[in-house]
Structure 1
Amino acid sequence: MAEEKMGSKGQAWFCATGLPSDVVIEVDDMIFHLHKFPLMSKSSKLHHLITEREQNPRTRTDEEEEDEEIEEEELPHISLPNFPGGSGTFETAAKFCYGVKIDLTAANVAALRCAAEYLEMTEEFSEDNLINRTERFLAQSVFRSLKGSVKALKSCNTLSPLAEDLGIVQRCIDSIAARANASDSAASSLFGWPIADAGARDLGFSVRRKNNIKGGSDPWFEDLTALSLPIYKRVISAMKDKDLSSDIIEGSLISYAKRSIPGLSRSNRNPAPTPSTSEIEQRELLETVITNLPLEKSAAGANTTRFLFRLLRTINILRASEASRTLLERKIASQLEHATLDDLLMPSYSYLVETLYDVDSVERILGYYLEKVEENSSAIVAVRWPKRRR
């Protein structure tokens, strides 16, 4: 269909149909040498731009008259700034215009949907156009799959604001929350494992899910860590609205924190590259994770408790808000029985305190723990048996 080769202005893309190109499209640093008819038959925007350029040809300067590439300059030259998805996405859209079969995937469909909107590839202009094709794939494939919805949402990071305006971001978020909730409620395969029978499902799934949540390192969680913080907040909010399992929410938050805040994960095996963030951004992220942690005691026990103490140390380093500190200390107190001596020996980062360890924080945690014990004891005493009738 086409071949790529280097040109004088970066990369040039030529359509290998045997016919000379009659229009030049520039997207980012790529120059596309194409043909008017297939483009104008599918894209209303390109039809308008090419027609306008032909009716109002650009006047060349004397220097351009002497240019060796005068033939290229005589062709209509169209520039598409800020094209969604960049030159790679435009190449796929151009192939669609030529009638070449394109492979839609969860990773590229959002970009192609935005590109189709940008190019105005509507049904009114041409039957079974790219807008309709991508919308159908989103509805019939992507939004029916948890993993597919996560992949599509990840791809939207570089497609704003168009992906937001088209509702792709919100539809992905709604799909993730709904699919995760349905899978969790039915105790089915949340992470793509096959279910052989009811017995295997009841036993195998619960064990596998628990093991994956402990480490907060399941591939499903890992995909969410690539989301920007504002989008991730919306995903967590949608999960809470669906009353998703607190273990799932907590596991996702732990995974996101490990990936995004340096020093939280002790694992040095194949560390994933993370973009550098400022202290202010890290503080905001840390406070977001803490404020969204479920109040219930963690099912993972000691592993989660150990990680919560790491978060508490990070609060001291990043100087997070007192409200976040209080929430986290109360969370730790709810499962203090899983803490070890090493967990409690937290270094003091205050210049005003002469002690080596943060005694004040441990004292507050113990106080919250005793409050909880007293509440439970009072609840037991308050239960009264009905009086016997005489």
Structure 2
Amino acid sequence: MACMKLGSKSDAFQRQGQAWFCATGLPSDVIVEVDEMSFHLHKFPLLSRSGVLERLIAEASDDGEEGCVIQLSDIPGGAKAFELVAKFCYGVKLELTASNVVHLRCAAEHLQMTDEYGEGNLITQTEIFLNQVVLRSWKDSIKALQACEDVLAHADNLHMVKRCIESLAVKACTDPNLFGWPMTDRGPMQSPGGSMLWNGISTGARPRNASLDWWYEDVLSLSLPLYKRLISVMESRGIKEEIIAGSVTHYAKRFLPGLNRRQSMSGEHSTRLVAVAIASAPSEEEQKHLLEEIDGLLPMQKGVASTKILFGLLRTAMILRASPACVSNLEERIGMQLDQATLEDLLLPTFSYSMETLYNVECVQRILEHFLVLDQATGGASPCSVDDGQLMGSPSLTPITMVAKLIDGYLSEVAPDVNLKLPKFQSLAGAIPDYARPLDDGLYRAIDIYLKAHPWLTDSEREQLCRLMDCQKLSLEACTHAAQNERLPLRVVVQVLFFEQLQLRTSIAGCFLVSDNLDGGSRPLRSGLMGGGPNEGGWATAVRENQVLKVGMDNMRMRVSELEKECTSMREEIEKLGQGKGVWRSVPRKFGLKIKSQMCSAQEGSVSDQKAAEKTKERRNGKHMRNLSVDG
């Protein structure tokens, strides 16, 4: 730390208990009392440097009392600052540093120690040191600003706080690699050119480059009011919002221990950091006030702060019962970048005794609403479209699809909670637009878990819940599971069977198309093989692929046959029920079984036609072989 030496005389001050004495050989003729300390001094050195002391000494002498006693109870910096002032008046050697210059400057102003009472007085000396030494150094400016906290009102009147903050803001906004400061301030082991020295010899090694967050740790020593003023000046100077947000969150981690509990920390250094944080942790009320101030300092912009940090702030705000405005702002910030969150982030426990659910579903609902509003405002487009009941195009991982997948996973986690009411579950699941889910497998899983955990739901409530998913958007595996799921309403099972058979029919038709293309392309391969051409390997490959396709088609035919049997059996059971009660006679038509029957008949016709075509082809091949034998 830089310093400036004043005075030339040896130190003649001696302390005895709560009193200071100046051993100059002359008896003391004035006593100056500051707080609980008394200074036994001489009048002339004091009144020749200070206008206030000159006036007070004159007033005390006019009273005619024995001994001149002066009370200085309001001097900035207290007894420690006046001790340095007294040494300066006597010309004793002392050092001005970044830590004491603020107190001395305020005390000199308070005592009117101007050049009128002596050339090169204390005001002039402290101003020179401030402007030429302290404000040119980052670390010294930090120390001086810290010292301003003890005499904040006096330092503000002298614009010392403003000057220190301006100096820090300028340095923080400038790339430190351009000038080699502040972390590379010139020291005894560094040459003027910036290279490191070993035993006074330049090694040519340069200090490592500094990142843009080099100043985060240094400003942690500032109190919240001074830190807020520093951040405000930095913003006015155009520093990037990402850098501001990084500093604010770093400051929050230092004084909000709750933010560090969810982070994995290991090693001796991490243990020491945790111990320091716990030892210096402020009270809950102070943490609450700090959190609300941090919320005001964070820029309201997407991506400037990590989603995990924002969730940590929100969780801490709920624990500390911060103001509703603070909680709402944090929810809005998270909603702006919900697509960057993880399932673990969303699992916010309920900290209120009035809510029965294990997780705060209502908070997640509000966060999702903020995201959807922003997505609509920015023109969020559908990642895929539906045409004639079929999904067209391949969905991309857009933010809305990522959020839909995240919410489906969250619903699966909260579904086992028996206290989660059906309207809350439906509201959160139904908030996602239809186009955001390319497949409804995740939603089906969440609904199935909810039905299993809530077996007391009525049939109407089950049907109402199942309307949230689109059976047409279930994968083949999900359809197979749903068709055998006893927890689903009968109407939903019939719909699932219908769409499952539709998917199988489409797949079989596609396989037939591929097979026909292979058969059409086999003729030139066969002719090439008979002619001894180079297509022998291609023909063998085509034959193997055709065999694989035929095996696949046989498996599909068996699956279609099983589904037809299940459909026929279900139809017979429903008809039996309809014979007992007239109200059930309309059930087959209502549940779409007529369509199912037509579907099965059409499928049977398709399979029969295919078998007939195969037999015709075999007869033709046999006739052709007989003709070849006769010709031979």
Tell me the TM-score range normalised by the shorter chain. 0.7 to 0.9
Whether the aligned pair in 2 keeps the contact of 1:188 and 1:205 (CA below 8 Å) is no
Aligned match of 2:184: 193
Aligned match of 1:141: 133
Please tell me whether residue 283 in structure 1 is matched to residue 278 in structure 2. Answer: no
Aligned with 1:284: secondary structure? helix
5 Å-filtered alignment, 1:1-390, equals 1-7=11-17, 11-58=18-65, 74-183=66-175, 191-193=182-184, 204-206=209-211, 209=212, 218-224=216-222, 227=223, 229-266=224-261, 268-269=271-272, 270-271=275-276, 273-274=279-280, 276-277=282-283, 279=285, 281-298=286-303, 304-336=306-338, 338-375=340-377, 378=380
Whether the aligned pair in 2 keeps the contact of 1:188 and 1:201 (CA below 8 Å) is no
Q: Which letter maps to 2:287?
A: Q
Distance 1:336 1:146, change over 3 A: farther
Q: Which letter maps to 1:345?
A: L
Distance 1:246 1:89, change over 3 A: same
Aligned with 1:204: secondary structure? coil
Aligned with 1:320: secondary structure? coil
**Larger-gyration structure (1/2):** 2
Distance 1:378 1:359, change over 3 A: closer
- Distance, in Å, in 1 between the alignment partners of 2:206 and 2:344 is 38
Whether the aligned pair in 1 keeps the contact of 2:219 and 2:227 (CA below 8 Å) is no
Q: Which letter maps to 1:85?
A: G
Whether the aligned pair in 2 keeps the contact of 1:84 and 1:114 (CA below 8 Å) is yes
CA positional deviation for 1:85: 0.7
**Structure 2: segments with no counterpart, 5+ residues:** 1-10, 186-192, 196-204, 262-269, 384-632
Q: Which letter maps to 2:290?
A: L
Deviates more, 1:370-379 or 1:95-104: 370-379
For residues 104-146 of structure 1, what are the alpha-carbon distances to aligned partners after superposition, in whole Å with 9 as ceiling and x for unaligned? Answer: 1111111100000111101122111001111111111222223
- Distance, in Å, in 1 between the alignment partners of 2:341 and 2:322 is 23
- Distance, in Å, in 1 between the alignment partners of 2:351 and 2:206 is 48
Distance 1:121 1:325, change over 3 A: same
Whether the aligned pair in 1 keeps the contact of 2:155 and 2:161 (CA below 8 Å) is yes
Distance 1:202 1:127, change over 3 A: closer
Q: Count residues in correspondence.
A: 346
Higher RCO, 1 or 2 (CA under 8 Å, sep at least 6)? Answer: 1
Q: Which letter maps to 1:49?
A: L
Aligned with 1:349: secondary structure? coil
- Distance, in Å, in 1 between the alignment partners of 2:75 and 2:368 is 57
- Distance, in Å, in 2 between the alignment partners of 1:140 and 1:380 is 62
- Distance, in Å, in 2 between the alignment partners of 1:245 and 1:188 is 20
Whether the aligned pair in 2 keeps the contact of 1:189 and 1:205 (CA below 8 Å) is no
Deviates more, 1:111-120 or 1:187-196: 187-196
TM-score by length of 2: 0.50
Distance 1:366 1:178, change over 3 A: same
Whether the aligned pair in 1 keeps the contact of 2:288 and 2:320 (CA below 8 Å) is yes
- Distance, in Å, in 1 between the alignment partners of 2:181 and 2:368 is 37
Aligned with 2:120: secondary structure? coil
Q: Which letter maps to 1:193?
A: T
TM-score by length of 1: 0.78
Whether the aligned pair in 1 keeps the contact of 2:137 and 2:182 (CA below 8 Å) is no
Q: Aligned-residue CA RMSD in angstroms?
A: 3.1
Distance 1:254 1:189, change over 3 A: farther
Aligned with 2:70: secondary structure? strand
- Distance, in Å, in 1 between the alignment partners of 2:210 and 2:382 is 35
Whether the aligned pair in 1 keeps the contact of 2:256 and 2:287 (CA below 8 Å) is yes
Aligned with 2:24: secondary structure? coil
- Distance, in Å, in 2 between the alignment partners of 1:96 and 1:259 is 40
